[in-house]
Structure 1
Amino acid sequence: MKFFCSRDKLIKNLQIAQRAVDAKSQAAVLRNVLMDASGGKLNLVGYDHRMGIRTSIDCQIDTEGSITVPCALLIDILGVMQEEQVYFTLEDSSMKVECGRSKYNLSCISADDFPPFPKIEGKDTFEMEAGVLETGIRQTIFATNPDDHRAFMGGVLLNLEKNEIKFVSTDGHRLAMRKFDVPGGALPTQKVIIPTRTLNELLRILPDAGEEKVKVTVDVKSISFTLDGVFVTSRLVEAEYPKFEKVIPTRAEGQCRINRTRMIGSVRGASIMARSKENRDLIEINVTDDSIKFTSSTQDVGSASEELEVVKKGKDIRVAFNSKYILDFLGAVEEDEVVFDYTEELDPGLFHTDMPGYTYVLMPIKV
């Protein structure tokens, strides 16, 4: 095995494949990345039995072959090299890495010991705009809870219907849903739960995809995404998602409209006095005729009060929420104005904007 390639491109693609490498695995081969030089391409694969990533770059090959190398160590070595081209030569189980006057030798593990990369052969294959996938993940992923014993909370539900895509998440305290209409009705009917970890890694890759289409394939127990030369495959969360529609309020007895930027500042300010274990980041919201007040207090520490003007209709309300959950919503939207719909102090609050498609339901805290 002998080849050379661009150092910068190799570093970038190793960092992508590394996201599926289990750096803490007891099996040394799972801490490695598979390098396969063939057909004018250097294919890089990271796989930990739960998630796999395969990417490739152009390279000049003298002798084809494959081997696994310590991923993190190779990235560190490439990072200190100065020249653009880096040369690799495999001798027995040692990889010689040369760049200018820099020379390193890496102990490797046979490619035969690397776990077989899964093949996704599901009948349900469709395309999705990269921007739709990125927005759907970004506006829901923070409401998952991978540590909960209820498996369905450890991922985002991808609910596909003929002409509609829904991303749904919940951690038991809130529910986030992002809906997209798909003209033409070309989608399969599917409901799958994608693990939070997989979606976090996709978020890191998606900004580089631009306006590309993402090819999605769904199998019985797995899902794959192909975008911008990167192939990502993952096991699905094997659980049944609850009927989330029942949680979403269908009526409101009051509503207020608030400037998003000012609300972020006020919620952050009020939360300063709500950081104790007893307060659980709790802030109270008091909506009256033309204002909304955010307050908090901690015994032996102090209190805080922030007030904003609002456009209100309907009844007044006094209700308590977790301030971090409110800030998650405010950080997930971009519109200048947000809307808070409410009924009673112990009923779920509904946060949204005038841009259709995004719904955020937040359970109140009993004071």
Structure 2
Amino acid sequence: MKATILQENLNKSLSFVTKLVSSRTQLPILSNVLLETESGYLKVSTTNLETSMSFWVGASVEETGAITVPAKLLSEIVASFSHEKIILSTDGFNLKLICGDSESTLSGIDAKEFPPLPQTGQQKSIILDKHVLDNGLPFVLISASQDESRPLLTGIKFAAKEEHLEMVATDGYRLSVKELPQIKGMEEGLVISAKAMADVFRLAIEEKAENIALYISKDKNQAVFKLEKAMVATRIIEGEYPVYAKIIPSTFTTKSIFNKEEMIRAVKLASVYAREAANILKFKVTKETITISASSAQIGENKTTISAKTQGEGGEIAFNARFLSDLLNVFPEEDVVFEMNGNLSPGVFHPQKDETYLHIIMPVRIQG
């Protein structure tokens, strides 16, 4: 293999694909990136067996070929090169890189040992409008679990309804539901890795793509997202997703409207104290205010009172401070509607004008 490529282009592609690479894998090949030449392109790929990612980078190809080399080492070397052209060439299972006055070599593994990458073949694609993802994905990603021992909760569920599509995520402590327009061909109950969806979203932004092609392979239980110069493939997560509709309250005893920016400042300040006390902060809701407080035996106490318009009986409730911060940082409007039914029932947050988004945070039981 011999190809010439711009340093900035190779560096950018490696910054994306190396996110899948784990340093703790028991299979050495999974620590490697696959480099293979195609007509006018260098294809850069990684996989962790659950998800794979490929990036096509424009290159001048003199000799075709393929090799795998340690992904993070290659990424570090390329990032350190000057912004010039890089000449890549192979000699057996060694990769040689020349950039300006620098010359490096890396020992690799035969490309034939790299796990097979998915092919879309003749499958029909589902076209995802990137703007639809813009208006939905950031609001539900915050609720997807990071706990790999509960794989279903690490995914985003697409639930087809009569007049719309729901995008749902929950980690058992919070729930996000976003209504989207119907997407033709999208199957009921499809659960796709939240991390993979986030990667697709970032790639779509990078490519300034308007549409993303989604291929569903039932026989291989795989979802493949294809952009012009990138592809992400991930296993469809199987199992019975939690019946999330049951935890959405149908009524409330308290409804309060507050300013998002005021609450962000109050939560940020209370979080300084909350992190010393199991990350818990309290809301005290009255007719015209909400007081946000947190205390720690080691450092003291903080209280901030913000304006609010409240209907109903008011009361006190406690939440995880990080969960509130995550929500407020992506919340789509300046005014937040908060609804509650006492201190042990879920707290409901939604925009005042947009009825298509709902976020629930389970309260924390506290003493006294």
Does structure 2 retain, via aligned residues, the 8 Å contact 1:50–1:234? yes
Instruction: Give the percent of matched residue pairs that are identical in Structure 1 and Structure 2.
Output: 25
Q: Following the alignment from structure 2 to structure 1, what is the Cα–Cα distance between the partners of residues 270 and 74?
A: 47
Q: Which residue of 2 aligns with 1:186?
A: 184
Question: Does residue 131 of structure 1 match 2:137?
Answer: no
Q: Which runs of 4+ in 1 moved over 6 A?
A: none
Q: Which residue of 1 aligns with 2:72?
A: 72
Q: Following the alignment from structure 2 to structure 1, what is the Cα–Cα distance between the partners of residues 124 and 230?
A: 19
Q: Which residue of 1 aligns with 2:210?
A: 212
Does structure 2 retain, via aligned residues, the 8 Å contact 1:120–1:223? no
- After TM superposition, the structure 1 stretch with the greater mean CA deviation from structure 2, 210-219 or 145-154, is 145-154
Shift of residue 356 of structure 1? 2.6
Gaps of 5+ in 2: none
Shift of residue 338 of structure 1? 0.6
Q: Which residue of 1 aligns with 2:260?
A: 260
Flag the 1:99–1:365 CA change in 2: closer, same or farther, 3 A. Answer: closer
- The amino acid that maps onto 2:194 is T
Does structure 2 retain, via aligned residues, the 8 Å contact 1:163–1:187? no
Does structure 2 retain, via aligned residues, the 8 Å contact 1:33–1:44? yes
Deviations 1:331-353 (A, max 9, x none): 12131111101222222121011
Deviations 1:140-160 (A, max 9, x none): 222222326443222221224
- After TM superposition, the structure 1 stretch with the greater mean CA deviation from structure 2, 227-236 or 257-266, is 227-236
Does structure 2 retain, via aligned residues, the 8 Å contact 1:56–1:229? yes
Q: Following the alignment from structure 1 to structure 2, what is the Cα–Cα distance between the partners of residues 204 and 362?
A: 26
Flag the 1:250–1:162 CA change in 2: closer, same or farther, 3 A. Answer: closer
Q: Which residue of 1 aligns with 2:359?
A: 360
Flag the 1:160–1:228 CA change in 2: closer, same or farther, 3 A. Answer: farther
Shift of residue 173 of structure 1? 1.6
Flag the 1:124–1:357 CA change in 2: closer, same or farther, 3 A. Answer: farther
Shift of residue 257 of structure 1? 0.8
Q: Which residue of 1 aligns with 2:274?
A: 274
Task: Give runs of aligned pairs for residues 217-296 of structure 1, distance below 5 A.
Answer: 217-220=215-218, 221-276=221-276, 279-296=277-294
Q: Following the alignment from structure 2 to structure 1, what is the Cα–Cα distance between the partners of residues 121 and 345?
A: 45
TM-score by length of 1: 0.91
Does structure 2 retain, via aligned residues, the 8 Å contact 1:144–1:153? yes
Please give the secondary structure, in 2, of the residue aligned with 1:146.
coil
Please give the secondary structure, in 1, of the residue aligned with 2:9.
helix
- The amino acid that maps onto 2:272 is I
- The amino acid that maps onto 1:201 is D
TM-score by length of 2: 0.90
Shift of residue 121 of structure 1? 6.2
State the number of aligned residues: 363
Does structure 1 retain, via aligned residues, the 8 Å contact 2:7–2:82? no
Counterpart of 2:315 (choices 299, 314, 317) is 317
Gaps of 5+ in 1: none
Does structure 2 retain, via aligned residues, the 8 Å contact 1:122–1:217? no
Flag the 1:270–1:17 CA change in 2: closer, same or farther, 3 A. Answer: closer
Shift of residue 135 of structure 1? 4.3
- After TM superposition, the structure 1 stretch with the greater mean CA deviation from structure 2, 47-56 or 61-70, is 61-70
Counterpart of 1:303 (choices 301, 304, 309) is 301
Q: Following the alignment from structure 1 to structure 2, what is the Cα–Cα distance between the partners of residues 365 and 210?
A: 41
Q: Following the alignment from structure 2 to structure 1, what is the Cα–Cα distance between the partners of residues 63 and 298?
A: 72
Flag the 1:198–1:283 CA change in 2: closer, same or farther, 3 A. Answer: same
Q: Following the alignment from structure 1 to structure 2, what is the Cα–Cα distance between the partners of residues 20 and 299?
A: 41
Q: Following the alignment from structure 1 to structure 2, what is the Cα–Cα distance between the partners of residues 228 and 46?
A: 18
Please give the secondary structure, in 2, of the residue aligned with 1:329.
helix
Deviations 1:174-203 (A, max 9, x none): 111111124xx6243321222233234334
Q: Which residue of 1 aligns with 2:154?
A: 154
Question: Does residue 164 of structure 1 match 2:170?
Answer: no
Please give the secondary structure, in 2, of the residue aligned with 1:29.
helix
Question: Does residue 344 of structure 1 match 2:346?
Answer: no
Q: Following the alignment from structure 1 to structure 2, what is the Cα–Cα distance between the partners of residues 309 and 12?
A: 45
Does structure 1 retain, via aligned residues, the 8 Å contact 2:33–2:68? yes
Deviations 1:51-80 (A, max 9, x none): 101111222222211111222222222223
What value does the CA root-mean-square deviation take over the aligned residues? 2.3
Please give the secondary structure, in 1, of the residue aligned with 2:246.
helix
Task: Give runs of aligned pairs for residues 21-100 of structure 1, distance below 5 A.
Answer: 21-82=21-82, 84-100=84-100
Deviations 1:319-366 (A, max 9, x none): 222222222211121311111012222221210112231101122222
Q: Following the alignment from structure 2 to structure 1, what is the Cα–Cα distance between the partners of residues 85 and 148?
A: 47
- The amino acid that maps onto 2:357 is Y
- The amino acid that maps onto 1:356 is E
Q: Following the alignment from structure 1 to structure 2, what is the Cα–Cα distance between the partners of residues 91 and 326?
A: 54
Deviations 1:60-118 (A, max 9, x none): 22221111122222222222333521112222222222122322222221111111112
